[in-house]
Amino acid sequence: MKIFIAGPRVIKELDENITIKLNNICEKQYDVLIGDAEGIDSSVQKFLQEKLYKNVKIYASNGIARNNYGGWKIENVQVNKNITGFEFYTKKDYKMAEEADIGFMIWNGKSKGTFNNIINLLNLNKDVFLYYSENKKFYNFTKIKDFEKFINNNLKISKRLINMLPKKEENNTYIQACLF
């Protein structure tokens, strides 16, 4: 099982709920796909490095990892030199979404990058296990429609993020228990 883990750069510490799930991932020997940013990426890397966990692959735009605390294998995601800013980093995030079996997203309701990862995973028919840091609860999503319902019931989302939601309709929804 390959798990894409991501979250906001502004969250720099892992709470107990997150570390319990990370311990479960380690116990089950799942493969972790993670980026190289500060915040959740580097915090999860540090946690896994302290555990001497080996099943980790760091994804880095053009092969230059900003952080790789465990000295793990780096997946070089080529990005055109004309691409900058948010789009530069979304290329590696999309690659992780493609290669993952499931996403474990930690989100504060504000991060555009994490929001984009959730949408990409769902569009690729991958389940998303979300830890919403604002209420410290976990949610499972299998379809965009599930995620939209969560948004409508739990937060006032900015128009910038709403405009990122796909416009297509999905009729079938189901909730699956978390695998970790």
- How many domains is the chain partitioned into structurally? 1
pLDDT in tens, 134-155: 999 999 999 999 998 898 887 6
| 63-72 contacts at long range (C-beta below 8 A, 24 or more positions apart) | 65/36, 66/36, 66/37, 66/38, 67/36, 67/37, 67/38, 67/41, 67/42, 68/36, 69/42, 69/45, 70/45
The CATH number of whichever domain residue 118 belongs to comes to: 3.40.50.450
> Is residue 18 one of the residues assigned to a domain?
yes
What is the rounded average pLDDT for all residues in the chain? Answer: 89
The whole-number pLDDT of residue 151 equals: 86
Angstrom distances, CA of residue 147 to CA of 63, 89, 94, 120: 32, 23, 18, 12
The whole-number pLDDT of residue 140 equals: 96
Distance, CA of 12 to CA of 34 (rounded, Å) = 15
The whole-number pLDDT of residue 87 equals: 87
Q: At what angle do helices 144-154 and 112-123 cross, to 10 degrees?
A: 150
* Element containing residue 152 per DSSP (H, E): helix 144-154
Tokens 């995030």 belong to which residue? Answer: 93
Residue 103 in this model has a pLDDT that exceeds 90: yes
Distance, CA of 37 to CA of 66 (rounded, Å) = 6
> Is residue 58 one of the residues assigned to a domain?
yes
Q: Which domain does 6 fall in, by range?
A: 2-162
Predicted model pTM: 0.88
> Is residue 170 one of the residues assigned to a domain?
no
The whole-number pLDDT of residue 153 equals: 80
The whole-number pLDDT of residue 173 equals: 38
The whole-number pLDDT of residue 176 equals: 39
**What average pLDDT does range 118-131 have in this prediction?**
97
The whole-number pLDDT of residue 66 equals: 95
The whole-number pLDDT of residue 164 equals: 65
